[in-house]
Every structure is written in structure tokens, then in C-alpha cells.
Structure 1
Amino acid sequence: MLKKVSFTKLLGAGSGALLLFVLVDRAGGFYFTPPELEKPAYVVIEEEPETPAEPEQELTFEERMAQADAAAGERVFNQCKSCHRAEEGVNAVGPSLYGVVGRPVHAVADFSYSDAMAGLEGEWTAERIYEFIAAPRDVVPGTAMTFAGLKDPQDRANVIAYLDSLDD
């Protein structure tokens, strides 16, 4: 027959077991201490600092464009395809980028530009596109474009070369 065990008896038994465990652990620590070593078991070898490499010289915009590869730019443009198309007259969330190099900033007639973009003047020169796609929201504050930008300067040059190759 089972007896009913009270909560206080269970709590007392648990506390006693915990106390016994702690005492055995402490006693074992007195008997089993590691010996002190005369010298370290391993030696940390400090490496001599490397001589700093010559910093790469930053290429100018013109030099980057001279090295630009339209085929590589087409691959990078895949990041843009969620909002833009490269076909003439085909808009998506963003305007068609067919013929964008050299055209006026808000020249796509059947596209509704944000107020920030509509307020821009001038043309999309290769250099202006290069700066814009690096950080669109920094270059045109208030733009509806949510893309963070292409950080790699050569990727930007390659995309511009690709876009420029689309039209005559």
C-alpha cells in the first residue's frame, strides 16, 4: 500500500541529496588537485607582425569603365530584375532601364516617378548612375527605391557597361 508523501518531506529529501552532492564534490577537490607545473605545458609563440602590404590604389571612374565587362554586368543586373526590366518600354516596380545611359532622369513617359526622382534634373550619365547605384537613398533622399546599393565599384561599372550595350 502506498503512503501519501508530503511536500515538505520531498523538499527535505531533495535538499539533503543536494547538500550531500556538494559535500562530496568539495571533499573530492581536496584529494584530487592537479599538481603545479614547473613550466607551462605549452608555449604561446608570438608571431611577428606582418609588414603591411601596399594599399591598393583606388581606380578612377574612367579606369573602372575601361575595365568594365558587359557580360559580368548582365549577371550583376540579376539583382535589379526584381524591380527593373532591361527591355524597351517594359516597366515593373521601377522604370525600364533600356537606354538609360544618356537619357533624361525621368524620361519614361508611362512611369509614375516618386516626388524625389521627379525633382531631379539632368541626364543619367554613366558617372551619375555609378554614384546612384552605390547608395540610391543617400544620393536621392526620399526615393521610393529600396535597394541598398551595389558596394563593389567594379560591379557598378559592369552594370553600366551592360545597360549601355542594350541600345545603339
Structure 2
Amino acid sequence: MMDTMTWTKIIGAGCGSLLILLLIQWTAEEIYHHSHYKYKEVAYLLEVEEEVTEVEKEEEETPFVELVANADLSKGKKVFGKCKACHKLGDGENGTGPHLHKIIGREMAVISDFKYSSSFKGLEGNWTIDELNLFLTKPSNYIKGTAMNFAGLGKATDRANLIAYLEDSTK
């Protein structure tokens, strides 16, 4: 059997080992983790000017109505592929979203058999080419709280092609 002295030696050895491990950890942190690194930046931020392509320059300089007048209907039909999951072109054919038959010139939120979100119901005015352009750029910015789950069309030419296609297809 073990007497009290043996138990004291075992517990003392365990405490001593623990103390040595803690001292090693503290020493390693002092050597490798300097507190002044918390406040230094590891990388430097460089501001880079964004290059504007020739197409983007032309889009910026060309009025949007002119882009619509010179739009490519076949490309507009292709862009409408993003819309047709929710919208229909036929008169009175609502999908998840309202039909887009004769959208240009139509009053906003006027289709009686479609349930608009509350943010849409408060809109007044007509869907002009310029209004559609603003809306299609980013719907959630144009109408805060809209239920329409669409990020928008970033390129002005895509928006112009789509609007021209909608105008031509629903005459």
C-alpha cells in the first residue's frame, strides 16, 4: 500500500508538471505573439481606377430612348427569358407576376385581377420607357419592399433590348 508521503510526491509531481507546461505556454506566447501586431495592418489598400470600356462609354453618352430605338429585338427576346418564369406577354395572362401586355404607357399597378404587394399599390403614374429603365436596373431600389425577387439588369443595352422587345411583342 501507498502511504501519505507517496501520495504527496505524486500530487507534487503532477502540480510541478502542470506549472512547467503553463510556463512553456506563457514563454511561447511572449516570443511569438507580440501585442503590437494587433494594431498594425498586414496589407496596404491601394485604390485602383476602374477602366471604362468603349461600350460602357457609348452607353453613358447615348440617351436611353435612343438605345431603345436602336435595340435588337432578338437579344430582347433572349433577355426576356429571365422574366418569363414569372411574367406572361398575353393580355390577361398573369403568372407569379402581372402580365406585361402593353406595359409601356400603362398605369402602374392597374391590373385588377392581380394581387400587388403593398409597396406597388402606392405607385402612381405610367410605365414609360424611362420608368421601366429605372425599375429594371434594380427593382428593389426603385420600389422599396417589393415582392419581386429579381436583382435587375446591369447593362443599359440589355434593358433597352428588353423594353423594345416588350413594346414590339405586345402591340
Taking structure 2 as the reference length, the TM-score comes to: 0.64
Q: Is the Cα contact below 8 Å between 2:69 and 2:164 reproduced in 1? A: no
State which of 75, 79, 85 in structure 2 corresponds to 1:76. 79
**Alignment match, 2:147:** 144
CA distance in structure 1 between the aligned counterparts of 2:91 and 2:148, rounded to whole angstroms: 20
Query: Map of 1:123-162 to 2, 5 A cutoff?
Result: 123-162=126-165
- Taking structure 1 as reference, are residues 67 and 116 closer, same or farther at Cα in structure 2, changes over 3 Å only? same
Q: Match of 1:107?
A: 110
User: Which residue pairs with 2:96 in the alignment?
Assistant: 93
Cα pair distance change 1:132/1:54, threshold 3 Å: closer
Distance 1:152 1:110, change over 3 A: same
In 2, the alpha carbon distance for the partners of 1:60 and 1:77 equals 22
Take 2:101 and 2:52, find their aligned partners in 1: how far apart are those partners?
Answer: 42
Indicate the structure with greater helix content.
2
Change (3 A) 1:71 1:142: same
Larger deviation: 55-64 or 89-98? 55-64
Distance in 2 (alpha carbons) for counterparts of 1:139 and 1:113: 15
Q: Deviations over 1:6-54 (max 9, x none)?
A: xxxxxxxxxxxxxxxxxxxxxxxxxxxxxxxxxxxxxxxxxxxxxx888
5+ residue gaps, structure 1, are 1-51
Counterpart code for 2:123: L
| Identical residues among aligned pairs (%) | 41
In the TM superposition, structure 1's runs of 4+ consecutive aligned residues that sit over 3 Å from their partners are 52-55
Secondary structure, in 3 states, of the residue corresponding to 2:165? Answer: helix
Give ranges in structure 2 of 5+ residues lacking alignment: 1-50
Change in Cα spacing, 1:54 to 1:94, as seen in structure 2 (3 Å) is: closer
Aligned pairs, how many? 117
